[in-house]
Amino acid sequence: MNNTGNQKRTTEVKTPSAGVQDYIDRENIVLWKKPIITTVYFVGEIFSLLLDFFRYLGNHKIGVTLFLISLGSAYYGYYAPGPHQKHIQTVEEKLIWCAYWIGLGVLSSVGLGTGLHTFLLYLGPHIAKVTMAAYECNSLDFPEPPYPNEIICPSDSGNSSIITTAITLWSIVSKVRVEAFCWGAGTAIGELPPYFMARAAKLSGEEPDDEEYKEFKQLVQSKNVDKLSFIDKVKLKMENIVTKVGFFGILIFASIPNPLFDLAGITCGHFLIPFWTFFGATLIGKAIIKMHFQMLFVIIAFSEHHIEDIISKLKLIPTYGVKLQAPLKEFFNNQKKKLHRNEGDVVEEKGNILAIIMQVIVTSMILWFVISIVNSLAQNYHKRLTEKKKKKTG
């Protein structure tokens, strides 16, 4: 009898609650474990989001009407012939360019569970290309078009000023400042979802099904600070600084590379810090202060003399140094050849091992990001279904 009682008690302990079981089931909805269910749920979530969007439009008829009138006016002005067309084309190119970098910044910051490191994949290489081209061409007056889509040296025939232009660190910074600011602004916009989620939870009194928010609540309510891990102590310290110092506390944490900054958004939302205090400090910190540090680092690292120095010193590495030196030299020589061509000319490229490796890394990261979005949306749909079941049974 005692053995039977013990077995029953053991079974009761091991049985998770309905909420925990739902969470476990949801975490298993990923493409490599349940590909068919994940795909079906992903499609279901897409349709659900579209329905939510159309419902939102239906509930805001006046706003939609005003938007459509504005859109129609803009459409007419865009296609109507006249002297304004050349200005429209210029503005359009600039807006698309800025929107592109803002979008990449948002992707880097939000990531839907896994950040796409768009600085490493796009902005960093763009700044590096501009830096290398500036020193190779002795000019920053790249022909537009094809710049910024492609970089080629300006024609120096009959124009000696292009050849003798002095290239300085700050002139390169000025050349890439707009796209860097837009990317930084995108990362600041990407920090808003945690802020709004925590703010809505505080005002409504309902706790969202978000792991970061639950972790934050546990951290705030923890009494035994000495037993916390080092990372948790850092998080708690950051939370205290943000709530006590306010604008300047947020500015400090936004201005430095900080993987824990999501917690700052949750903290500000939870303690109802005003929107413009949070977003203003985040925007200044990420788009202006931190971006200038990142720009300067890339520009200094990819200055011509630094690259040549690094390549020459690779041979000092035993066994592999000389083998690494050859593909790197070939890669950078290819980049220089691309700069000295006319628009539309094609530079023949051999299969450089470094370029192939970089392409594989970039493709793999983008593929992983897409997979993570599919998994995340599928898990959101599972959450919708469980909430509907709870409402029916409740």
Residues 270, 334 within the same domain:
no
In a domain? residue 375: no
- Number of domains, the chain: 3
In a domain? residue 228: yes
Residues 209, 284 within the same domain:
yes
In a domain? residue 384: no
Residues 260, 161 within the same domain:
no
Residues 120, 199 within the same domain:
no
Looking at 189, 214, 241, the residue that finishes a domain is: 189
Looking at 280, 301, 322, the residue that finishes a domain is: 301
Residues 311, 294 within the same domain:
no
In a domain? residue 374: no
In a domain? residue 197: yes
Q: What is the pLDDT of residues 174-196, one digit of tens each?
A: 899 999 999 999 989 988 888 88
In a domain? residue 369: no
In a domain? residue 391: no
Residues 203, 184 within the same domain:
no
| DSSP class of 286 | I
Residues 173, 116 within the same domain:
yes
- List the domain range (segments joined by +) for residue 132: 99-189
Looking at 189, 221, 247, the residue that finishes a domain is: 189
Q: What is the pLDDT of residues 34-88, one digit of tens each?
A: 889 999 999 999 999 899 889 988 888 898 999 999 999 888 888 888 787 778 8
In a domain? residue 155: yes
Checking if the pLDDT of 212 tops 70, the result is: no
In terms of average pLDDT, the best of 64-73, 89-98, 151-160, 236-245 is 64-73
Q: Which of 268, 259, 128, 274 is nearest to 193 (CA)?
A: 268
DSSP state string for 213-282:
HHHHHHHHH---GGGS-HHHHHHHHHHHHHHHHTHHHHHHHHSS--TTHHHHHHHHHHTT--HHHHHHHH
| Average per-residue pLDDT for the chain | 78
Residues 321, 255 within the same domain:
no
**Could you report how far apart the first and last alpha carbons of the chain are, in Å?**
37
Span 150-166, mean pLDDT?
60
For the record, the structure tokens of 122 come out as 């796009």
Residues 124, 202 within the same domain:
no
